[in-house]
Amino acid sequence: MNKKLILFLLFLITLETVNSWAIVPLGFTAVWWALNALVLYFVVRSKKKYYGKNQKSHIVVFLYLIWNISSIVRGCFVAENYWEWKNLVTMGFVLLLPLTIYISTNRQMVQNIFHSYMKYILPLFFLFALIIDRIAYGVYLIPISFILLFLPLLTKKWKIAMLCFAVVGITASFAARSNVIKFVVPFALGILYFLKPFVGKKLLGLSRTLLMSLPIVLLFLGLTGKFNVFKISDYVTGDYETSNTGTDEKENLTADTRTGLYAEVISSAILNDYVWWGRTPARGNDSLLFGSQIEEQTSTGKLERYVNEVSVLNVFTWTGLIGLVLYFLVFSRASYLALYKSKSWYMKIVAVYVCFRWSYAWVEDFSRFDLSYIFLWIIIGMCYSPSFRNMTDGEFKYWVRGIFDSRYRKATLRKVRVVKQ
């Protein structure tokens, strides 16, 4: 996949990402479907060129994709109306996004993707800022959050630039709590480099275990009524509010907006007997909270919500408990390889970040064909890549700086040619 094609696809994905917050429509459903199909087509076509053979560690990715494909196929027999077919196609593309793992195992490909964003898409932010809501600034700038993982490796100029853009993404709207978290956490993980003498592999391994298991433990405690992590107001005192962008309305930052979603999704799966297999991406969960509002728009006679804000609830609804377990294994295997089978400190930091995104998927992390979800799968692909895992800290420095400076890219390529010879 050449650089011009990468830039073209990345630009269109950016348009799709911010379309929901644009003051004027940037496209319509058929356009986004065509774009999604085009992206996946080139990913599949490029797989043979950029993906190494005999990758036994990728079996879990293969199984997860096969299960997702089977769920999409089953959806063709489940869909009964326009809205269900629309959801099947839209979310079917989302379920196929893990295909990007197969090309993101190639470090030159990943470098080109980040380079295209930094050189061309990022400067366009100042133009897009005029036509999108402030709450979407962080959504547009989300690739910056991934670069923050490698902040200590950047030159002084680019450190300042990345931090400035990160501050914009965070402060544009504090009501967008997800944006704040997605920038602050990678920044905190990135500066662990300076604490390297005090933070060993054992501590990172403990963090990995905690982040991978914590959501499951908290879910059990919530279901048994012993502790509900979403009822923050029960455990803290004081008023924590922020103003919504462009309005005088106040939003309570401690409000519980998730317990009701979990209750509806789980009860819907039990009542309709799709706990194990899922309802396919053609359908949603029965919803009393939102179903009547959605039914007014769709006139389907079904009180269903097709998509939730919480990523794992979507995975569970569409692909069932089997799909959710495979989803967990993809993250678990990726983090294990990056932490225990890599040479550089930075891949170990990436491992912890992947675990964080697994945990955060239980809180929010929308399931969409957008920059955030695509770059997440790219980062996961790096974990599965022997090429990335065999890089030393010095090689990582050249690779990261090569995103911004062609001199480092050329030096890296010369070194690779020498090694091959």
SS3 at position 242: strand
More confident residue, 410 or 326: 326
| Spatial contact of 157 and 195, defined as CB atoms under 8 Å apart | no
Whether 311 contacts 366, CB under 8 Å: yes
How much is the pLDDT for 418? 40
High-pLDDT (> 70) share of the chain, %: 89
Indicate if the pLDDT at residue 238 is higher than 70.
no
Q: Three-class SS of residue 151? A: helix
Query: How much is the CA Rg of the chain, to the nearest whole Å?
Result: 21
* pLDDT for position 242: 53
pLDDT of residue 226: 82
Note whether 157 and 118 are within 8 A (CB): no
Q: What is the pLDDT of residue 113?
A: 95
Specify the number of domains making up the chain.
1
What are the angstrom distances between the C-alpha of 35 and each of 16, 48, 121, 191, 318? 9, 21, 17, 37, 22
Spatial contact of 350 and 379, defined as CB atoms under 8 Å apart: yes
Q: Which residues pair with 391 in a beta bridge?
A: none
pLDDT attached to residue 192: 87
pLDDT tens-digit readout, 42-75: 998 887 776 655 566 689 999 999 999 999 999 9
Give yes or no for residue 410 having a pLDDT over 90: no
Q: Of 296, 364, 285, 353, which is closest to residue 318 (Cα–Cα)?
A: 285
Angle at 345 between CA 182 and CA 3, to 5 degrees: 65
Judged against a pLDDT cut of 50, whether residue 262 lies above it is answered with yes
State the pLDDT confidence band at 421, using cuts at 50, 70 and 90.
Answer: very low
Over residues 369-384, the pLDDT tens digits come to 999 999 999 999 999 9
Of the listed ranges 50-54, 79-83, 183-187, 396-400, the least confidently predicted one is 50-54
Cα of 345 vs its chain's centroid, Å: 22
Model pLDDT, residue 420: 42
Q: Which residues contact 123 (CB under 8 A, 6 or more apart)?
A: none
* The pLDDT value given to residue 417: 47
Helices 345-360 and 371-384: angle between axes, nearest 10 degrees: 130
Question: Whole-angstrom distance between the N-terminal and C-terminal Cα of the chain?
Answer: 24
- At residue 243, φ and ψ (nearest 5 deg) are -85, 135
Tell which wins on pLDDT, 2 or 6.
6
Structure tokens at 150: 């490698």
Check pLDDT > 60 for residue 273: yes
Residues 131-166 have pLDDT tens digits of: 999 989 999 999 999 999 999 999 999 999 999 999
Give which of 176, 218, 193, 174 is closest to 358, Cα–Cα: 218
The first and second tokens of residue 2, run together, are 């050449």
Four-residue CA torsion sign, 319, 324, 325, 329: positive
Please report the pLDDT score of residue 234 as a whole number.
57
Residue 416 pLDDT exceeds 60: no
pLDDT at 252 over 90: no
Instruction: Kindly tell me the burial class for residue 211, based on how many C-beta atoms sit within 10 Å of its own C-beta (0-12, 13-18, 19 or more).
Output: buried
**Token representation of residue 185:** 């956490």
- For the stretch 5-43, pLDDT in tens is 999 999 999 999 999 999 988 888 999 999 999 999 999
Handedness of CA 360, 189, 384, 3 (dihedral sign): positive
Average pLDDT, the chain: 88
Residue 419 has pLDDT above 50, yes or no: no
Range(s) of the domain holding residue 191: 3-420
Place 297 in a pLDDT band, splitting at 50, 70 and 90: confident
pLDDT in tens, 192-230: 888 888 888 899 999 999 999 999 998 888 888 887 777
Amino acid found at 199: V
* Strands of 232-369, DSSP E: 241-243, 250-252, 285-286, 304-305
Supply the pTM of this predicted model. 0.91
pLDDT band at 80 (very low <50, low <70, confident <90, very high): very high
Predicted local confidence at residue 253, as pLDDT: 53
**Residue closest to 305 by CA, chosen among 276, 268, 337, 270:** 268
Name the least confident of 50-64, 177-191, 311-325: 50-64
User: CA-CA distance, 286 to 264, in Å (whole number)?
Assistant: 7
